[in-house]
Structure 1
């Protein structure tokens, strides 16, 4: 493999049919001209040192990591600003001391490559401003030891209890979910000062597990609920909104990601329950000015044209009743015909949702409801 040290932007991945890892070329370790580096299915030498003094962005994909590897990498990348892990395993302790590194992302944990009985990852990143944890983390417990400088965070991941991830007895489910509950509470406490926060569907599910679940007051001004339209949990979303009294802009994105079939007995039980929402009348949105509802590009909404159990409708009605300074409630959908049902189902759904909301009572007399088409294209 030829590699020339004057290159600045490099993407290196295994071309093996079986995605077998390849050894990094020796010359890459001392390539001081690198600005961006994207590595997939690569192996680091056990005794390596690097000189990436100008490197700004590093992406590590499908690589089995060890703590010492990351220590060596960070020591050789003094200018690094963005660090991303995708399809990773093996990492247990990540401590970032560089004031230049501002963005940190984790996406997909490879549990089947990890033989630990209790996989966990402690994260210390005092100067990180943007944190993202996405997709399936399985049973990995990421613990935010210190991320006190974060101003934005995206928590769009899900976890599985050990009865699913490791085949343990279902009798351990309640204890395992208590651990998950405390972990989620700690996340939101450690990130309570961020100004922009994105929360995924799984976070809306977790409060449904417990009748009493207190969350730290969130200071965020822009909140995004990134949720599945087929399982939009009104109860969990309302709890998250209750913890966010400073929100000025609320974005609700709807996708068609299928429900994960791997559900333990504990989860199946609470998902089937009716949840008490009496607390909804006890709080309002004193700062909320703008709401935007986005439909996914490839979403089929034909099955959501019935309104009896539409949680988005319930949540929208609740917002209109309690947002005292609301200015705009915007519903955005694509214009083109759906490839799944051959109808303009997203447009029909959005239009009917807007028509229903116009008829609901509103605490803000100056608010307007807007339905937009063609905001996205295929």
Structure 2
């Protein structure tokens, strides 16, 4: 970390003049500018002039990363040295209330470090910290400590509005005792997924009643296993992501959600049992990425999909990405019309064209359609088939975008169909796959009839 000394440095006349101009700004504005910098860079500005010497101590934000803090090359224990630097920075920081405390720790941990963390959290809590962002990645060689158990002082941050936890962190030990009365945003990423998502009474997610005003919950795991139970009446945004979607190593899980105020829902993972306990009357946007492979639960797939799309029925903006090999065996998964749906994004592959066709028929008020073409080369006899009846569901479509056009027969027939039937279409944009000729694609598309006389056709 840059040392906060007072020695002067020689700047060019232009840079010196710029520093003078900036230094004349009000102190509150200077602190605001410094708040956008990592703390080590903010401290480094102390060498610019005498006025800047202690200015960084007034910035209501601490952003510290262990791997960017400079230490002496002859330090015997680098992580102990870094811990002392962090403690010193916290001690010198003089602002009243602390807006943000962000700490990335990519080193080992022992008893002394836990003591430091306890002290840092106490200091942050005393300064009424609003946002806490903790990212812990333990050293691979640190076999004595598998995860960080947060000290009791962590759970005394009653002023927290935003809490983000990432990495090797264990929070279940205090699941029944924590209370964050002001917390509105909670993001959990890769923190002991095996324990936070089970049905034990002391699991963290089962104790979210300690967050009475929570509005935004996000958690990401390598893979899902066990039971997820989320009951948050105030929740408006929910994001659940599984990073490892692999047909070779699929796990069983169950997800139960009671969040009647939900406005935004994002899910990425293997298809399993997802149940909403309340109707989502306020839902505006849903992004769903589902992976489906043949396994012993295939007989339940259609039931699970019906249950999921019934819950999402009131959505206005929907993104649906079906991955996997078994979609060709599933049909009629949409229970009723999506009357409020105005924008649809869909990723199509050879085995799910029928899912797109069925969904379009359920969206009578659709205004914007975005299609992305996937090329996973799943063997399938399915293809785009033009409906045999009048497609009234395209009567409101004004914008059409096709991403990854390669000129395959299904793609050509689908685009041709949209242009022929969308009566009020204003723009149709075709983004060609890399290496394909834009000129030849445009020449082919211009030959297709367009029902809308005002449709502008573009090829990118």
Q: Is the 2:347–2:372 contact (alpha carbons within 8 Å) kept by the matching residues of 1?
A: yes
Mapped to 2, the partners of 1:17 and 1:350 lie a distance apart of 50
Aligned partner of 2:64 in structure 1 is none
Aligned partner of 2:321 in structure 1 is 200
Q: TM-score, normalised by structure 1?
A: 0.73
Mapped to 2, the partners of 1:205 and 1:231 lie a distance apart of 11
Mapped to 1, the partners of 2:321 and 2:453 lie a distance apart of 31
Report the alpha carbon displacement of residue 275 of structure 1 after superposing the two structures with TM.
Answer: 5.4
For structure 1, the 5+ residue unaligned runs are: 164-171, 260-267, 296-300, 334-344, 373-378
Q: Establish whether residue 39 from structure 1 lines up as the match of residue 174 from structure 2.
A: no
Instruction: Tell me which of 317, 326, 343 is aligned to 2:416.
Output: 317
Aligned partner of 1:247 in structure 2 is 366
What CA deviation, in whole Å up to 9, does each residue of 1:191-226 have, x standing for no partner?
A: 1111111111339973x3146666421124333334
Mapped to 1, the partners of 2:351 and 2:441 lie a distance apart of 15
Q: TM-score, normalised by structure 2?
A: 0.61
1:108 and 1:210, CA in 2 relative to 1: closer, same or farther beyond 3 A?
A: closer
Q: Establish whether residue 78 from structure 1 lines up as the match of residue 206 from structure 2.
A: no
1:213 and 1:55, CA in 2 relative to 1: closer, same or farther beyond 3 A?
A: closer
For structure 2, the 5+ residue unaligned runs are: 1-116
Further displaced range: 284-293 or 13-22: 13-22
Number of matched pairs: 321
Aligned partner of 1:338 in structure 2 is none
Mapped to 2, the partners of 1:355 and 1:332 lie a distance apart of 14
**Greater radius of gyration (CA):** 2
Instruction: Tell me which of 213, 217, 222 is aligned to 2:342.
Output: 222
Where does 1:1-378 land on structure 2 (aligned, <5 Å)?
A: 1=117, 2-3=120-121, 4-5=124-125, 6=127, 7-18=129-140, 20-40=146-166, 41-48=168-175, 49-63=177-191, 64=193, 65=196, 66-67=198-199, 68=201, 69-70=203-204, 73-87=207-221, 89-90=224-225, 92-99=227-234, 101-108=235-242, 118-134=252-268, 136-137=269-270, 140-149=272-281, 150-161=283-294, 163=295, 172=296, 176-202=297-323, 206=327, 208-210=328-330, 215-227=335-347, 231=350, 233-254=352-373, 271-274=379-382, 277=385, 279=387, 281-284=389-392, 285-294=394-403, 304=406, 307=407, 309-332=408-431, 346=434, 348-372=436-460
Cα RMSD over matched residues? 3.4
Higher relative contact order (CA 8 A, sep 6+): 1
Report the alpha carbon displacement of residue 103 of structure 1 after superposing the two structures with TM.
Answer: 0.2
Mapped to 2, the partners of 1:124 and 1:109 lie a distance apart of 24
